[in-house]
Structure 1
Amino acid sequence: MTTVAGTAAVALYLCCVFTQLTDLTGLRINELLYFRVISPEEISYIFSAAPAKDFGGVFTSSYEEIFLVPADPADGCSDLKDDNNIQGQVILVLRGGCSFVQKAQHVEEAGGKAVLIADNAEDNDSLYLDMVSDGSDAQPTIPALFLLGRDGLMIRRALQRQALPWAVITIPVNVSALGSFPLKQPPWTLW
């Protein structure tokens, strides 16, 4: 039989656990993480991404200028090429071909600091998917984030047009501290 005091104790415990998780990650349940593209200029917007639900790590520090490097192969389902550009950077991979966990594991093994997994539905400009564990023994520890397909497409196109090997980004970005936040969103995405 549940007592009022027992219910209150459980509620207080859950509140403390939630507060500790929020303090560690800076995110609340179902919140998005934001990053800013510094260059190339044509895509210098603030983008949102959804953290993986039950695998991967969290950002323990902010990176003011770090490279966002497209993966080769693009789906990140096998060993990544060009370890020199990947080492210590954020890697952009495409959804599909293997599990989210496998993609994060390949990026981590290549030395990446985090992985952004862009939806392979390139017209997706509003639907975030829940990235969950695949049931394997793999336990990647780097942050893994889901990026809208339209955002991933626009970033890759801008890099291809300018023949750039990477974009320069700031991640994570505290959008509540930015006065002009709404003006810096990608024009193709509604938040």
Structure 2
Amino acid sequence: MEKAVRTAALVLYLWTVFVQFSRTSGLGINELLYFRVISPDDIRYIFSAAPAKDFGGQFTSSYDEIFLVPADPADGCSDLTNSEIFQGQVILVERGGCSFVQKARHVEEAGGKAVLIADNAVDNDSQFLDMVNDGSTARPSIPALFLLGRDGMMIRRSLQRQALPWAVISIPVNVSSLASFPLKQPPWTLW
């Protein structure tokens, strides 16, 4: 009986989280993609990201351990100076300076497997933006995802504090199979 009550409470809690999230973000839980930071430990959470609306590819494989490498320059709008470590990795860039499509193309040309574009509004912890095509004909084929500004800032800050060139992540993560999903989300993010 006690186990059934706990399970019912968890289901109710998850539904409440979903409803609140849908109201604040405008996106449903199935419209987001999730990734887990494995290392460093201080940001070992499950993060959500919104896929681009009309450009970029989809993940055809699941990556249990892949690097999340911050771009240099951070906005990814010009030639990337640390491209030697981009080959086959997920690249973190910041919004601003050029279109989402241009950022994704620069990452793809540097050998990145996917791009996470973090909002440049570092206080944004709940509003996903729709990333749309900029009208150019050369569209990137790698997955392009929008990351909340606070999440991007916290990831970058952790890597800078520890002088690490990358985080280790798994992407995508199926959160519907995780009973403890609400407990593994970043504490600074509104859920």
TM-score normalised according to structure 1 size: 0.84
Unaligned runs of 5+ in 1: 1-27
Q: Which residue of 2 aligns with 1:128?
A: 128
**Secondary structure, aligned partner of 2:65:** strand
Report matched runs for 1:15-164 at 5 Å: 31-164=31-164
Q: How many residues align?
A: 164
**Secondary structure, aligned partner of 1:116:** strand
Q: CA deviation at 1:79?
A: 1.2
Give percent identity, aligned residues only.
Answer: 84
**Secondary structure, aligned partner of 2:158:** helix
Residues 13-51 of structure 1: CA distance to partner in whole angstroms, max 9, x if unpaired?
A: xxxxxxxxxxxxxxx897100000000000000000000
Tell me the distance in 2 between the aligned counterparts of 1:82 and 1:116: 16
Tell me the distance in 1 between the aligned counterparts of 2:47 and 2:105: 23
Residues 50-101 of structure 1: CA distance to partner in whole angstroms, max 9, x if unpaired?
A: 0000000000010000000000110000111122211100000000000000
Q: CA deviation at 1:138?
A: 1.8
TM-score normalised according to structure 2 size: 0.84
Tell me the distance in 1 between the aligned counterparts of 2:84 and 2:76: 16
Amino acid at match of 1:151: D
Amino acid at match of 2:49: A
Q: CA deviation at 1:189?
A: 0.4
Tell me the distance in 2 between the aligned counterparts of 1:132 and 1:178: 31
